[in-house]
Amino acid sequence: MVRRVSSRVYLALVFLFLYAPIAVLMIFSFNSARSRGVWGGFTLDWYAQLFRDRQIMSSLYYTIACAVLASVFATVLGTVAAIGLSGMRGLPRALTAQLVYLPMINPDIVMGLSLMLLFISIKIPLGFLSMLLAHITFCLPFVILSVLPKLKQTQAELYDAALDLGATPLVAYGKVIIPQIRPGIITGFLLAFTMSIDDFVVSFFTTGNGVTNVAITIYAMARRGMNPKINALLTIMFAGVIFLLFIANRRTADAKTRR
């Protein structure tokens, strides 16, 4: 009994630790005093002003554009690569396996600066394109590592059967393999999307020309004291994520009960 209570208290304290900063961020998005740490009364002004702030809106636009493009592109390239990888054997496979992990084990700061050096060397101007290329690169392993286990579970005979029945390889993939690995593709896409949305370090090094994402804007503001408008933006984004999780949870629960 004592153990049960003490473990619950401990868990509660850990959650307090994890959520205190988030609570502070959200509460101060409703604070009418501008400076942090001083409560001046409830207001929704920051939410209204947020949409009129050019800098924040443009960084939000770049963040979302980059995340959508990077995750779509990485999902396509990564899924094709995973299918190719599953057909490899021996040494090439072992080497490629190491290559897949490379962007994950490479520290993000090294990845950012090495890509920056690359873009400068091959004369791609630092800006949206360079940031997008970098994001695709670090998104790829998440897609491949989500799709590969699903590929391992697919029944290869079904693909052969489709070929025997006269399907072209492309049709056989589209109709037989892809539907079987779809959950892995979706997981990979979502992982890639969240990685891209949250990235700071790699973007910080590979962007330029006034193109910034939300994380870089926060970093720039943090030095002078953060604007409550950012708190409002983050509160909206966080609520959005929770809403999406809730929907996804409902959908899987529905699918289960229907079955």
Partner 1 sequence: MRKKLLNGPYLAWMLIFAILPLFIVVWYALTAEIGGERSFSAGSLARVFEPIYLRVLWRSLKLAAVSTLLCFFFGYPVALILTSRQFKRRTILVVLIVLPMWMNFLARTYAWLTLLEKNGVINSVLSFLHLPALSILYTDAAVVLGMVYNFLPFMILPIYSVLYKIDHSLIEAAEDLGATPLVTFRRVIFPQSLAGALSGVIMVFMPAMTTFVIPRLLGGGQYTLIGNLIEQQFLTTYDWGFGSALSLFLMALLLVTGALLMRSRGDGEGGLW
Binders in 30-69 for partner 1, by CB under 8 A: 36-37
- Enumerate the β-bridge partners of residue 31: 42
Q: What tokens does 28 get?
A: 């101060």
Number of residues that bind partner 1 (CB under 8 A): 77
Print the binding letters for residues 182-201 with partner 1: x by CB under 8 A, - otherwise. Answer: ------------x---x-xx
- Asked if 192 contacts 75 with a C-beta cutoff of 8 angstroms, the reply is yes
- Residue 139 touching partner 1 (CB under 8 A): no
Which range of residues in 5-13, 42-50, 180-188, 251-259 is near partner 1 by CB under 8 A? 5-13
Which range of residues in 43-51, 52-60, 96-104, 183-191 is near partner 1 by CB under 8 A? 96-104
Number of H helices, E strands in the chain: 12, 0
**Residue 259 beta carbon to partner 1: minimum distance, rounded to whole angstroms:** 19
- Residue 174 touching partner 1 (CB under 8 A): no
- The number of CA neighbours under 13 Å toward the Cβ of 19 is 9
Please identify, using beta-carbon distances, which residue of 113 and 158 lies nearer to partner 1.
113
- Residue 156 touching partner 1 (CB under 8 A): no
- Asked if 183 contacts 150 with a C-beta cutoff of 8 angstroms, the reply is yes
- Residue 12 touching partner 1 (CB under 8 A): no
Please identify, using beta-carbon distances, which residue of 55 and 114 lies nearer to partner 1.
114
CA dihedral 157, 159, 162, 163 (to 10 degrees): -100
What is the residue type of 107?
P
Phi-psi sector, 43: left (phi>0), alpha (psi -120 to 50), beta: beta
- Asked if 60 contacts 52 with a C-beta cutoff of 8 angstroms, the reply is no
Please identify, using beta-carbon distances, which residue of 47 and 200 lies nearer to partner 1.
200
Report the residue from 59, 218, 229, 232 that binds partner 1 according to the rule CB under 8 A: 218
**Residue 66 beta carbon to partner 1: minimum distance, rounded to whole angstroms:** 14
- Asked if 184 contacts 150 with a C-beta cutoff of 8 angstroms, the reply is yes
**Residue 197 beta carbon to partner 1: minimum distance, rounded to whole angstroms:** 8
- The number of CA neighbours under 13 Å toward the Cβ of 238 is 12
Please identify, using beta-carbon distances, which residue of 51 and 238 lies nearer to partner 1.
238
- The DSSP code for 125 is P
- Residue 90 touching partner 1 (CB under 8 A): no
Site for partner 1 in 226-255 (CB under 8 A): 226, 230-231, 234, 237-238, 241-242, 245
